[in-house]
Structure 1
Amino acid sequence: MSSSTDDLMAIHQLLARYAVTITQGDIDGLLSVFTPDGTYSAFGDTYPLAEFPALVAAAPQGLFLTGTALIELDGTGDGDSARGTQPLCFVDHATHELRIGYYQDTYRRTPDGWRLRTRAMTFIRRSGAHDSGRPHAFDRGSA
């Protein structure tokens, strides 16, 4: 049985792996931080893991600078789930324009260690509004 300190460190390393792999364009590494049924939510929609590579390819490239996440380990006793919030500052590589916001996550312990189960992006606008982005900002193509 691992300690809560070990679990927190493992989740923080998982989140660091997310930021580094997406910044470096390592899609396989990025996908490895999610559970197989993992999802990403932004732009008014939720995307299954299978759609994540196309979503990343359509997005601006740059630096994903993340802050320390506030993590709450499961208090129900199963010890295999957690949730958290992690601040983000994205810097576009071409323009150095910033996008700021935060991720709201759920985590699951797997045989391969802790993984992201869900990740939802909230953008912070210049107006002070917090939202998930413009609906349909990412074209999923025709069904």
Structure 2
Amino acid sequence: MSTVDDLLEIQQLLARYAVGMTRDDIDAVVAVFTPDGSYSAFGDVYPLDRFPELVAAAPKGLFLTGTPVLDIDGDSATGTQTLCFVEHSTHDMRIGYYTDTLVRTAEGWRLRTRAMTFIRRNGDHDSGIPHAFERSKA
């Protein structure tokens, strides 16, 4: 497989993540990760089995992502992808970027880790308020 093929496959994988989040399709989101995959935000790391709860608690709207910057090294890769999230009912926006690690599996490229960094109005870059999604249930 060529580097161009790898780039296209990874871009499609990350697009499936964004479309899955936009459509609130947990199965599509989980499918882009390795079985030991994790998502980091809000000061915590969430394993794949917590994804249904995490996605259910996430605000709903449009996950608009940019073309990722990728560094491919054989069967592993790292990358950064920008995000502009637009909440559906208010059109309020959140902006930031994902920092990813990926691995080539028998099923193709998959995310192993995805970490969210939010960009604040004051210019700070951070991973969010600890346990924010769990507090939203109260």
The TM tier, using the shorter chain, reads: over 0.9
Matches within 5 A, 1:105-116: 105-116=100-111
Indicate which of 112, 117, 125 corresponds to 1:117.
112
1:35: which partner in 2?
34
TM-score (norm 2): 0.96
- Cα drift, residue 29 of structure 1: 1.0
Alignment gaps of 5+ in structure 1: none
C-alpha distance in 2, partners of 1:6/1:117? 19
**TM-score normalized by the length of structure 1:** 0.93
The letter of the residue matching 2:86 is: V
Shift of 1:136: 1.3
Name structure 2 gaps, 5 residues minimum: none
Which amino acid counterpart does residue 61 of structure 1 have in structure 2? K
Give secondary structure in 2 for the equivalent of 1:20: helix
Match of 1:52 in 2: 51
What is the CA-CA distance between 1:138 and the residue it aligns to?
2.0
Please list the CA deviations of residues 7-50 of structure 1 after superposition, one character each: whole Å capped at 9, or x if unmatched: 01100000000001110111111100000000000000000000
Q: Which residue of 2 aligns with 1:3?
A: 2
Quote how far apart the aligned CAs of 1:99 are: 0.1
Alpha-carbon distance in structure 2 between the residues aligned to 1:43 and 1:57:
15
| Identity of matched residues, % | 70
Residue 139 of structure 1 deviates from its aligned partner by 1.5
Other-structure match for 1:19 = 18
Q: Distance in 2 between matches of 1:25 and 1:132?
A: 22
